[in-house]
Structure 1
Amino acid sequence: MDISPMLECLRAANCKTDKVKAINSILDVFEGTQKEEETDDIAERLTSEGILDDLINVSGDEDTLASVGQLLAELAKNESVRVPCVEKGFIPILLKVLERQDDIDRMTQACRALGNICFDNDIGRAKVDEDDGISILLTLLNSLLGNTKSGTDKLRTIACGFLLNLTNSNETLQKKALEEDALNLIAKYLKNYETDERLCNMVLLTIASLTDSEMCKEKLFASNLCQSMVDFLQTPTGEDQYESVLDILITLSEWDEVKDLLAQTDLCKQLIKMAQVTLGENAEYSEDNQQKVKMSSDLLILLLTGEKSMEILFDGGKGEIFSESMTWLDSDEQHLQLCGALAVGNFARSDEHCQFLVEQGVIKRLLRLLKPVYGEQKCTLEHASLSALRNLAIPAGNKASLIKEGVIDAVLVLVDSEMLAVIFKMLGVLRMLVDGQDDAAVKLGQHREFVTRLVEWSACEEHPGVKGEATRLMAWLVKNSRAEDVMRNIIRADGIPFLVAMATSEHIVMQNESLVALTLIASTVLADAALPLKEADILDTITQLLKADETLPEIKCNTLTLTRTICSSAVPQMSQSLPCRLLACTGLLPYAGKALREDLLSSSIPDVIRQLTEHDDEKVKIAAKSVIPVLEDTQPVDR
């Protein structure tokens, strides 16, 4: 199509009517073109032939501004035209139209043009900012609240679109909009125009843009936006925009303060109602419905991750979401089962809650979820159920109840799982259950196959969590059972090297657990453990812990206790009439234990211990002095 004649007509026009007629003829070309590639081509051709200069020249006539704005809006749909529009000086002209607020059609087309020029164009945005465009636009949006003039419905939607394009991903303009109370303004739009689907959709997109920044946080709490979105969900339009609203609320709920705000609204009741209606007996299955259920339950669980919001929703065990989570555990819908398990795990964050949950019979429900499950959510469901069981097993008063319910045997079914995330949680449950429960520790420690797997997991480099939990559980089995056969099972399975390595962990609690377990092993079954201890370089570990300045006093004391135990346990009990050296020479003292003791005594460890008798920490000093007599009573045998 030859566009030159149309440009000539525009350039030759002397009156307002001819100018508008010429511009409209060019607009007709755009309207008659369906394909985006063709409109882009037309925009580029017009620009290359000087259309922007022509439009600047005619924009001095106010009566042509609506048509100029409309044509600019079409041209600026093409990315290559946006910066030239800025450079030609259109932004101040268009903003002036918005500032005067004297004609709905002019303002509509000016907003369209400005919105398109600023789309993904920081040069255009910067110019709008330079000319105080945020204030002008927000003033316009405020003035349109309650305005019933013809055409204002369309203008409201387009002005919101301009705000979206202006601030999207632009922190400077987002900040200015937020400082000028944009959140409360768009909250009013959501409330006042809840039946206008197009406007509400644009408002939601703008909310998502403005709230996707840390700077929004403070302003959000001072606004009515959260409540407005919750109220909007109850409207017919809100139901149609359900996923968009929830997507925003899920993003906002990353902040604990927002969780607390939302927990005090009717949001949870609406989310529960959505899940009930969507999955009711007469509900029609669809992927859309399933997505709504997923988003509803995901948001509910997210609200439970906050401390205050969780307490609000628990409500002493009377909260609606708590009751519903019990129902979800009994559901045949895997996603609801998952949400039920996640909810219980989040509620089980205090001893009081844990006791209440166990009294409500939650254990049997959770164990049901550990039975064979198929599908993509199998691992996730097992993981969530085990997480809940672990939390429930933490309070001392609950452990016996869980053991009685058969939790140990139930979780051991997962021992062959290939999912390391599931193994990690399984080990956590078992570690909590053996704490202070000697019978459970003995039962688990006597399970040779399990102990073998436990040692294998202690070498799991691809999942540090599994490796740490396995080694800790091994130490806890020793500490809580204090049984020789448990310790020997660990020794036979080659678990000693991992306990020794654990003594130099970066975590103090794990260091202590290791030293306690090694001390118990040395005092109980040193004859069996001496050679594995030696091969695991226990003496190097002891030396490292005692010499290092950064080793905490508590760790030094426990290391000294281990040292004393190795020396004293390597000396057999005897009658007063039978000297120790005679026993050693006649071979009555187990060779491995004797060899370990002699290696220790001939190492630098005794000298390090003597130095520690002058340590600044009084407890270390006392512990070191307590080892000296044992060292002197067990000097190496002369042969």
Structure 2
Amino acid sequence: MEILRLLDRRDKFNKIIDQLKGQSELGEKEKQLDDLLNLVTNAGDNDKISSDQPFSELIKEFNQLMITKDGPHQKIANIIAELAKTESLRQPFVDGNIIPTLVKMLQSSDNNDVIQACRALGNICYENDEARNCVDENDGLQTLLNLMKGINSNNGTDVTKLRTVACGLLLNVTNTHELLQKKALEGGALDILEDYLKNHAEEEGLPYMVLLALDSLAETDFGRQKMVTCGTYKSVLDFMHSSKVNSAQDTTLDLLCSLAENDEIKVKLAESFLCDHLIQTIQSNSDELAESNQQQLLKLSSDLIVLLLTGDKSMEILFETGKGPVYKESVRWLESSCEYLQISGALAIGNFARNDGHCILLEDEGVVTKMLNLLKTQDNKEPNIPLLHAILSALRNLAIPVANKSKLYKAGAIEVLLNFASTPILPVTFKLLGALRMLIDGQEETARVLGRDKEFITRLVEWCGVEEHAGVKGEATRLLAWIIKNGKNAEVIKNIVRADGVQYLVTMATSEHYLMQNEALIALTLIVGSSVLDEAAMALKEAELIEVIGNLLKNQQTLPNIMANTLSLTRALVMAVSHRPPQLAQCTLLACTGMLSNMQSNVREELMCAGIPDLAKQLSTHENEDVRNAAEMLTNVLEEGPSVER
């Protein structure tokens, strides 16, 4: 039955076109147009006209009628507007050259003609850059702006509708089209839209379309900056403050979120009444049983507050040295029954915790305990990924100040965090590793707690080899190095060696990031100077440590500090093996035969083969004092032992 109905509609459509072409009298043509308008207006979503029908012939007929004096222009534009609701029919109208005629129609003295022309052009231009470009090539954008400006002070039902559809056309012409957005902004679009918002906010549907058009123009940095210069954000705030905003609250908040991407606007919004208004909105919509539209309002309001906190100056304004309403409200959100508010609270705290003073105050006021308690609620249940991500980010920031580290440890942060070490969700793992790394910085006891947890170390080494997430791989390797550096403990190093972590530290020494190189070299120096070198030796050999050392010393791009630390690592290695009893040491750095041999001789032989002694002598004249001193010290140590024939 459905197929028969569609075929019937197609037959009717084709018949109307044939009759339209066959008529010479304008009056008869209008009758056919009435039938066509009725057909396309009453079509359901699954009952649309398709472009495989004789569409090009119809467009030719439209073009002919549109240039006819006193022709049915309005009716044709109405039909085009209805047909162009179907995506596949928009491009044929562009190809059929109907756009120039519709653009001219925007200058008609009949408002109803202009309304239908706006509708037709707006629908053709929807998500269609070719149509938008064609409008621009025919001076359509400026014609539209002139029209909108001209009807600003006019009254009447038809003018009210015209203002709304004109805003809709501006939206569809400029949306996602950066060049046309810029042209509209330079052509005075902001002044026009602001006037509409101030003078006609009571008109049904108009504020909504104005806000959408402004949001489109605020997509780019240029647009947002223009709105700073023109003070457009003030008009939006004034509208929000009025009683007329109720029907467009979501759209207003969406626009303010777009504007708040600009740091200057962040500050202006933070200084305004906005956050008090948002807090009130949230408090009145935080009931979990609230309707979905109210929940959306809550989300947009809390999102906007968090966005304002991403700016340094706006964050300080809203923090008010720990006395600001936004700060107080954010802390309350941590204990809300609404998960979205919990997420917003954690994100807000993470943003407040961007300097040591704030972090210390937050810890003193018990925020850390609230965060840990919230994190505990996520254990042994289906994890809320955004919430975990937000809490772990905040805890990482809170753990940065030296004064907070031991307090977080005593509050049980390590135990709570380790409960999430088994998570398979890598973005959460990334934040977890960052928080742990900050907690052990300079904290020997905390580092040893992690290093002695063999299950965690095994997991950590696995993360060092994760290829799917570069951030996790980097953080895991850095944490491995930091555990060694801060733990300074043979048992900890042994656990890392036995978990096959050494290879990742050697690879880390070749990183393109200076900090990671340095951290790896320090960790490796502690390993070779420890009592577990014999156990680590084979891993160092297999990771080609000496080859890595040679490459770093040969590379003229190696930074002086890295060069000096590489020389110090080499010296520590030579000195360490020099004290191993020859009869007990395994040949694990040269190790080809698996037989017991003299480790000292083997190390010296490898160093000689890699040209390290010669490199050390060359570097003893380096322009950097630290490099010179380290090179001289290595040379002296090498010369103390027995020479190896070359």
Does residue 633 (structure 1) correspond to residue 640 (structure 2)? The answer is: yes
Deviates more, 1:490-499 or 1:383-392: 490-499
Change (3 A) 1:83 1:381: closer
8 Å contact kept, 2:111–2:159? yes
Does residue 499 (structure 1) correspond to residue 505 (structure 2)? The answer is: yes
> 1:520-539 maps to which residues of 2 (within 5 A)?
520-525=526-531, 526-539=533-546
Change (3 A) 1:520 1:266: same
> 1:442-453 maps to which residues of 2 (within 5 A)?
442-453=448-459
* Counterpart code for 2:69: V
Structure 2 distance, partners of 1:346, 1:512, is: 29
Which of residues 24, 32, 35 in structure 1 aligns to 2:43?
Answer: 35
8 Å contact kept, 1:137–1:159? yes
1:272 corresponding residue in structure 2: 279
The offset of 1:366, in angstroms, is 0.5
* Counterpart code for 1:263: A
Does residue 320 (structure 1) correspond to residue 310 (structure 2)? The answer is: no
Deviates more, 1:526-535 or 1:461-470: 526-535
Change (3 A) 1:133 1:198: same
8 Å contact kept, 1:253–1:303? yes
Structure 1 distance, partners of 2:368, 2:411, is: 7
The offset of 1:106, in angstroms, is 4.7
Which of residues 413, 418, 434 in structure 1 aligns to 2:419?
Answer: 413
Structure 2 distance, partners of 1:275, 1:536, is: 56
Q: What is the SS of the residue equivalent to 1:436? A: coil
The offset of 1:376, in angstroms, is 6.3
Which of residues 593, 600, 610 in structure 1 aligns to 2:603?
Answer: 600
* Counterpart code for 1:503: A
Deviates more, 1:512-521 or 1:266-275: 266-275
> 1:7-406 maps to which residues of 2 (within 5 A)?
11-12=24-25, 23=30, 26-27=33-34, 30-31=37-38, 34-35=42-43, 37=47, 44=55, 47=58, 50-59=61-70, 67-78=72-83, 79=89, 82-83=93-94, 86=97, 90-91=101-102, 93-97=104-108, 102-112=109-119, 114-115=121-122, 125-126=132-133, 128-130=135-137, 132-280=139-287, 284-373=289-378, 378-406=384-412
Q: What is the SS of the residue equivalent to 2:579? A: coil
8 Å contact kept, 1:451–1:493? yes
2:522 corresponding residue in structure 1: 516
TM-score, with structure 1 as normaliser:
0.86
1:576 corresponding residue in structure 2: none
Determine what percentage of the aligned residue pairs are the same residue.
42
The offset of 1:22, in angstroms, is 7.0
* Counterpart code for 1:463: H
The offset of 1:634, in angstroms, is 1.8
Structure 2 distance, partners of 1:186, 1:172, is: 19
Deviates more, 1:392-401 or 1:491-500: 491-500
Structure 1 distance, partners of 2:540, 2:48, is: 80
Change (3 A) 1:172 1:48: closer
1:545 corresponding residue in structure 2: 552
Does residue 432 (structure 1) correspond to residue 435 (structure 2)? The answer is: no
The offset of 1:213, in angstroms, is 3.5
Q: What is the SS of the residue equivalent to 1:194? A: coil
8 Å contact kept, 2:464–2:473? yes
Change (3 A) 1:501 1:191: same
Change (3 A) 1:627 1:494: same
Structure 2 distance, partners of 1:375, 1:240, is: 39
* Counterpart code for 1:599: N
The offset of 1:44, in angstroms, is 4.7
* Counterpart code for 2:519: E
The offset of 1:627, in angstroms, is 1.5
2:7 corresponding residue in structure 1: none
Change (3 A) 1:375 1:195: farther
* Counterpart code for 2:340: H
Structure 2 distance, partners of 1:270, 1:408, is: 39
Q: What is the SS of the residue equivalent to 2:375? A: coil
Deviates more, 1:165-174 or 1:622-631: 165-174
Does residue 483 (structure 1) correspond to residue 486 (structure 2)? The answer is: no
Structure 2 distance, partners of 1:608, 1:439, is: 39
1:457 corresponding residue in structure 2: 463
8 Å contact kept, 1:73–1:116? no
Change (3 A) 1:453 1:7: closer
Change (3 A) 1:191 1:337: same
Structure 1 distance, partners of 2:452, 2:18, is: 96
Structure 2 distance, partners of 1:423, 1:126, is: 47
The offset of 1:198, in angstroms, is 1.4
Residue by residue over 1:540-594, the C-alpha shift from the partner in whole angstroms, topping out at 9 and shown as x without a partner, is 2221211222221111111111111122222339xxxxxxxxx64xx37787698
Deviates more, 1:390-399 or 1:308-317: 308-317
Change (3 A) 1:411 1:23: same
* Counterpart code for 1:56: I
Change (3 A) 1:307 1:597: farther
Q: What is the SS of the residue equivalent to 1:469? A: helix
Structure whose alpha-carbon radius of gyration is higher: 1
Which of residues 472, 478, 487 in structure 2 aligns to 1:472?
Answer: 478
Q: What is the SS of the residue equivalent to 2:336? A: coil
Change (3 A) 1:114 1:591: closer
Structure 1 distance, partners of 2:636, 2:48, is: 97
Change (3 A) 1:519 1:235: same
The offset of 1:365, in angstroms, is 0.4
Structure 1 distance, partners of 2:566, 2:19, is: 93
Structure 1 distance, partners of 2:18, 2:436, is: 85
Structure 2 distance, partners of 1:421, 1:3, is: 60
Quote the RMSD (CA, aligned, Å): 3.3
The offset of 1:120, in angstroms, is 5.7
The offset of 1:504, in angstroms, is 1.3
The offset of 1:488, in angstroms, is 2.3
Q: What is the SS of the residue equivalent to 2:376? A: coil
8 Å contact kept, 2:529–2:573? yes
Which of residues 564, 568, 577 in structure 1 aligns to 2:571?
Answer: 564
8 Å contact kept, 1:329–1:336? yes
* Counterpart code for 1:366: M
8 Å contact kept, 1:519–1:561? yes
| Count of residues in Structure 1 that have an aligned counterpart in Structure 2 | 609
The offset of 1:115, in angstroms, is 4.2
Deviates more, 1:320-329 or 1:510-519: 510-519
The offset of 1:85, in angstroms, is 6.9
TM-score, with structure 2 as normaliser:
0.85
The offset of 1:340, in angstroms, is 0.8
Structure 2 distance, partners of 1:309, 1:151, is: 44
Deviates more, 1:506-515 or 1:456-465: 456-465
Structure 2 distance, partners of 1:126, 1:327, is: 51
